[in-house]
Structure 1
Amino acid sequence: MRLLYFVLLFLFLSNSSFASSRIDYSKKWEVKKFINHMNKEFGYKKKYLKFIFKRIRKNPKVIAKFCTVPIPKKRVKEGSWDRYKRIHIGKNHINLGISFMKKYKKYLERAYKEYGVPAEYIIAIIGIESYYGDNCGRYYVFDQLSHLAFGKHKRKKFYKAQLEDFLRMCFKEQIEPRRVKGSSSGAIGLAQFMPSNYPIFGVDLDKDRKIRLSTPADAIGSIANYFKINGWIKDVPVAVKTNFKGRRFYTFKTGFKYKYKQKELKKIKAKGYFNYKDEVMLIKLSKAWSDELWFGSHNFYVITRYNHSAYYAMAVHQLAQKIKWRSINHHNKK
C-alpha cells in the first residue's frame, strides 16, 4: 500500500511538472486565426493544429532574449577581426572540413557541376553555421517560432510567416513538427536555413524525393543553389589581400555596400594574382595593431547575402581557402 502511494505521488508530480512546462496557445485569438488560415489555404486539419498548439514548451530564456528591447551594440574595438577569426577559422574547423570534403566528395562535385560553386565554399558555410552538423541547434523549432510569432515581439509578422513555412515544409516532407530542432530563432539543419528559405533554395541533391536540410547531401545542394540564385559566377575569384601605406586604413569607405573601379584605387595593389576586372569592394579587417585590407569581388558580395556581415563573408573565404590548400597538400603527400 505504501509503495502504491509513492508510485501515484510520483505520477501526479510528473504530470504536474509536464503541464507546468507547457503553454496552451490554442486559445489565443491570433493562433485561432492562424489555424483557420492554415486549414483554409492549405487544407491542414484544425484538430491536429489545435493539438500541437496546446503543448508549446516553455523557454523563458529565449522569450526574454527576443521580447526585450535590444541594447545598442558597443562600438567595435580594435582587434575585432582577431577574435572573429579565432572563433571561426581554428584548426578543428579546417581539419573537420577536410574530412567532410572526403566523405561527401560525390555530392560536392555534383553541386559544382550543377551550380558552379566550389566545394570549399559550401564546406566553409556548413562549418561556420553548424560545425559540420554537430551543432544544428538545441531548441524545438515549432515552439520557438510559436513564441516569437504570438508573443511580445516586434518582428511577429516575420516569425508568423516563418512558422507557416515551417509547418508547410514539415507536412510536405512528412516530418513531425514538434521533433525538429534548430537555433533559437528557428534556423534549421546543417545550412541553418530559415524555413522561408526552404521552398526557394531547398534542393534534393541525393534524389531521394525528399528535401531534408538535416542531411549533408541536401544541405550541400541547397547552399550551392542559394549562392547561384543570388548571383554566384562560376570561376570568379572571391577576394585577395592588398597592400596599402600605413597601419590603419581610412582613405576610402569600406564594406560590401561600396564599390570602386580598380583604376580609382591605384595606390592599393593586390597581393598576388587576382583575375578580376570589374568593380571591387574594400574589406577592412581590424586587427590589434593594424588593418588588413582586401579586394572583394561580386562573389564576395554573394556570400554576404547568406549573412549580411563582411567579417562573416571573409571568414567563409579564408576557411574555404585553408580547407582547399590543406586538402591539396594532404593529397600530394600520399
Structure 2
Amino acid sequence: MVAAAWLACVAPSHAASEAKKRPLARATESDEQPLLYASQREAMAFATDLAMRRDLDVGWAREQIGQAQRLPQIIKLMQPAPRGTSKNWIAYRARFIEPVRIRAGLAFWENNRDWLSRAEAEFGVPASLIVGVIGVESIYGQHTGNFRVIDALSTLAFDFPSSHPRAEARTAFFRDELEQFLSLTRRSGLNPLELRGSYAGAMGWPQFMPSSWIKYAIDFDGDGRVDLFNSQADVIGSVANYFKAFGWQPGMPTHFPVSVDGPQVDLDGLLAPDILPTFSVNSFTNKGARLEGAALQHTGNLALVELENGDAPRSYVAGTDNFYAVTRYNWSSYYAMAVIELGQTIQAQLSAR
C-alpha cells in the first residue's frame, strides 16, 4: 500500500489523538549521530499511552519507539508537490506498463496459477487485478522498501512536515499506523526493529500499511501464520480479500470507453462528484457523455474519470463501482488505471503464448 503513488492502501482511521508538539533540539542532516525518539518526550509519552490502551508492556513499547530514528529524507518525501505541477497519464502509465514488470508478472502468474484461480473463485476478484496490484506495488517482491518501518512511521507520526496542507490529519493517521504496527509485531512475534518497508511504512509484496495487514491480510496457504514478505499465496489471498472488503462486485467491468467532446457536454456537472460513481446510464448520457455497446446495458452507477496528459488532450473513461473499489487500495485514478492495464496486458500476453 508502497504505495506506488503515495500510500499502499487505505482509508485512514484516526484513532490516535493529536498532541501539541514541544520545541526540541533537533539533529541536523550533517550530524553523525541520528536523532533517536528516546530523546523526544512527546514520543515517549505516546509510547506509554498506547501500551496502556493496547495492553502491551510499557517498557517494551518505549524501547521500540525510543530506538526509532528520525529520517529527514522521509520528511522531504512527504512534502507536497509544487503548485502547478501537471499530471500526465501517458508518462505515469509508461512507468508501470513496461517490459520489466510484464516479464516478472508473467512468471508470477505462471508460478501461482492455482493460488490465483482459488482467489478468483473464493473472492470474485479477477486474477489480472491481483497480478496488476502486486506488480505496481513491488514488482512482485523485488522492491518492498529499504526503510525500517519503525523509523518511517515514527518520523511521520512525530515530525510530519507542517507545510503539508493536511499535516494534522496525516499526523493522526501515522500515529495510528505506528500504534497498529507495534500491536501487530508484539502479538505476531515479529521484530519491529527488523521489518523494512516503504518510506510511508507500507510492508511486503502488496505494500500493506499495518492497519490493512491487521484487517485484511489472511493465511491463504494455511500454514498458521500470515506472511506478506515470503508467502506468495498469502499475498494473493490478502489482496483479493482487501478488494472484497471494499465492495468488489464479481463480473462487473471496472470502466467503459466514453466520449465527452461536443458542445452539449456538461463537463463540469459530470466531473463534480469526482470518481465516486453517482450517475445512472441515463443521467450520464443526458449530460452529453456518449457510451456504446455494453456500457449502455450497465445497471450500476458511473463516474466520469478524467486523466490529464500534460499539455496533450485529457483522457476520459466511465468508471464503475469496481473502478472506485480499485482506488480504495490507493486513492488515485491514475494508480487504478495502471493496475488494471498492467494486469490486462500480462493476461493478454499469457493467453497469446
Match of residue 116 from structure 1: 124
Q: Once structures 1 and 2 are overlaid, which stretch shifts more, 236-245 or 138-147?
A: 236-245
Counterparts of 1:222 and 1:245, CA distance in 2: 41
Unaligned stretches of 5+ residues in structure 1? 1-18
Deviation at 1:75, TM superposition (A): 4.9
Which fold has the larger relative contact order, with Cα–Cα distance below 8 Å and residues 6 or more apart in sequence?
Answer: 2
Q: CA RMSD in A?
A: 2.6
| Contact persistence 2:280–2:301 (CA under 8 A) | yes
TM-score by length of 1: 0.82
Counterparts of 2:174 and 2:314, CA distance in 1: 38
Identify the match of residue 197 of structure 1 among 212, 216, 221.
Answer: 212
Identify the match of residue 24 of structure 1 among 33, 36, 39.
Answer: 36
Match of residue 182 from structure 1: 197
What percent identity do the matched residue pairs reach?
Answer: 30
Counterparts of 2:315 and 2:185, CA distance in 1: 45
Deviation at 1:115, TM superposition (A): 1.0
Match of residue 253 from structure 1: 270
Counterparts of 2:65 and 2:72, CA distance in 1: 17
Counterpart mapping for 1:32-111 below 5 A: 32-66=44-78, 70=80, 72-76=82-86, 80-111=88-119
Match of residue 168 from structure 1: 183
| Contact persistence 1:182–1:188 (CA under 8 A) | yes
Match of residue 3 from structure 1: none
Q: Provide closer, same or farther for how the CA distance between residues 60 and 292 of structure 1 changes in structure 2, counting only shifts above 3 A.
A: closer
Q: Provide closer, same or farther for how the CA distance between residues 168 and 244 of structure 1 changes in structure 2, counting only shifts above 3 A.
A: same
Counterparts of 1:168 and 1:233, CA distance in 2: 32
Deviation at 1:271, TM superposition (A): 5.6
Identify the match of residue 300 of structure 2 among 254, 259, 278.
Answer: 278
Q: Provide closer, same or farther for how the CA distance between residues 237 and 65 of structure 1 changes in structure 2, counting only shifts above 3 A.
A: closer
Q: Say which SS state the counterpart of residue 284 (structure 1) adopts.
A: strand
Counting helix residues as a fraction of each chain, which structure ranks higher? 1
1:236 maps onto 2:246 in alignment? no
Counterparts of 1:320 and 1:232, CA distance in 2: 16
One-letter amino acid of the counterpart of residue 270, structure 2: K
Match of residue 156 from structure 1: 171
Counterparts of 1:122 and 1:28, CA distance in 2: 41
Match of residue 263 from structure 1: 282
Q: Once structures 1 and 2 are overlaid, which stretch shifts more, 273-282 or 100-109?
A: 273-282
Q: Say which SS state the counterpart of residue 177 (structure 1) adopts.
A: coil
Counterparts of 1:21 and 1:272, CA distance in 2: 64
Q: Provide closer, same or farther for how the CA distance between residues 61 and 43 of structure 1 changes in structure 2, counting only shifts above 3 A.
A: same
Bigger Rg over Cα: 1
Q: How many residues align?
A: 307
